[in-house]
Amino acid sequence: MKNLKIIKVVFISLLLLFLLFGCTIRQSKNTQSFKKENPSLYYKDIDVVVTSVDKRHWYASTNWYRVEVSVKSEEYQLTYTDTFTGSGMLGCPPQWQYNEGDIVKAELYSWVINSTGEVVRREINRIY
């Protein structure tokens, strides 16, 4: 009987200690929890200059076309290279008409942190 009372007292004491100190996570009033803000993606069309064009055409049971176009944005100091392909009688890609020095449209991606307006990264996504 005496052992049972001692066990009850110890159990109740541990339960009270747990409830008083173990249930809450205390934060100091001087510390702030900062949530890292993910950047948002914005896009817009820009003018870029064609720096090089590599055109290839061959015939293998049908017409095949391959155009590799490199462009540069003077405003954002970015370069981009893309390859366009096509096949068949009407499969010539529209980029076949591009020549060095032409100004064409491209899509610019910008990742921006909205709270500060800081641009984290920029890249040319595609050429039109």
| Structural domain span for residue 51 | 40-127
Q: What is the pLDDT of residue 24?
A: 57
In the block, residue with structure tokens 């076949």: 96
* Total domains in the fold of the chain: 1
pLDDT in tens, 80-107: 999 999 999 999 999 999 999 999 999 9
Q: Could you tell me if residue 95 is inside a domain? A: yes
Q: Hey, how many other C-beta atoms are within 10 angstroms of the C-beta on 89? A: 7
Can you give the pLDDT at residue 35?
Answer: 72
pLDDT at residue 29, rounded to an integer:
59
Q: Which residues contact 93 (CB under 8 A, 6 or more apart)?
A: 65, 67, 84, 85, 86
The pTM score is 0.67
Is 13 part of any domain? no
Identify whether 71 is part of a domain: yes
Looking at the domain assignment, is residue 54 inside a domain? yes
Residue 59 lies in a domain: yes
Give dist(CA 119, CA 54) in Å, integer: 33
Range of lowest pLDDT (25-29, 110-114, 122-126): 25-29
How many whole angstroms separate alpha carbon 103 and alpha carbon 72? 10
Domain assignment present for 30: no
HSE on the CB side for 50, CA within 13 Å? Answer: 20
Contact (Cβ atoms closer than 8 angstroms) between residue 64 and residue 57 = yes
Question: Does residue 64 lie in a domain region?
Answer: yes
Position 26 in a domain: no
Q: How far apart are CA 123 and CA 110, in angstroms?
A: 7
